[in-house]
Amino acid sequence: MNGVAVTARHPPASATVTAPHPPRAARAPRMATASSEEPMVPDMNKRNTMNLLLAGAATTVALAALGPYTYFFVPKSAGGTGGGLAARDAAGSVLKAQPYLASHAAGSRELVLGLQGEATWLIVDTDKALEPFALNAVCTHLGCVVPWVPAENKFKCPCHGSQYDRNGKVIRGPAPLSLALEHVDVSGDGEIVLSSWKDEDFRTGEMPWWKF
């Protein structure tokens, strides 16, 4: 064995490097003490109060959002006339009786937006008062809007020639039925209000054929 070099497989003990642990003073300081690390849980009374406040705020927001939406779909009250919808002109403005009568001649008929948003003839009688009935302008044949022809004192449908008298009673076909009636009233604040006509049809003595 003399003269044979011996290769050391392991570095000498002096070459081994042992990573020293950082000194305690070099570690990150711990800010919280054992007692301050406990979760901050409010007691039951405080939690109930907070829940009530949150629920109240959420309800207020929901009502504020739903209010106008609901109002849009609720029919306007007629104010003492038993319910109905305010008549509106072509621009969507509510019609009031006094200015309407001041600007319309006796015997005039004008189209307004009536029940179900349909074209409706509003009539001023010969005494310059509103007739207590209005006429749905939809022809009972195939649904054309029927114009008023003052020179002939009747309604004449341009589509297939049906005719109706001054009160909307059919006098010539092919329309099978008279124009539908709507009640006309004036609300407490002066609005012209239309409502369903469910009584006997004064033109025919029969009950209404229409369903609105």
- Exactly one of 157, 177, 181, 186 binds ligand FES (CB under 6 A); that residue is 157
Stretch touching ligand FES by CB under 6 A, among 23-31, 70-78, 140-148, 198-206: 140-148
When asked if residue 145 is in the footprint of ligand FES (CB under 6 A), the reply is no
When asked if residue 169 is in the footprint of ligand FES (CB under 6 A), the reply is no
- Exactly one of 133, 135, 155, 162 binds ligand FES (CB under 6 A); that residue is 162
When asked if residue 94 is in the footprint of ligand FES (CB under 6 A), the reply is no
- Exactly one of 175, 179, 181, 186 binds ligand FES (CB under 6 A); that residue is 175
- Exactly one of 53, 66, 106, 142 binds ligand FES (CB under 6 A); that residue is 142
Rounded-to-integer distance, Cα 161 and Cα 154, Å: 12
Closest CB 169 distance from ligand FES, rounded Å: 15
- Exactly one of 113, 123, 134, 139 binds ligand FES (CB under 6 A); that residue is 139
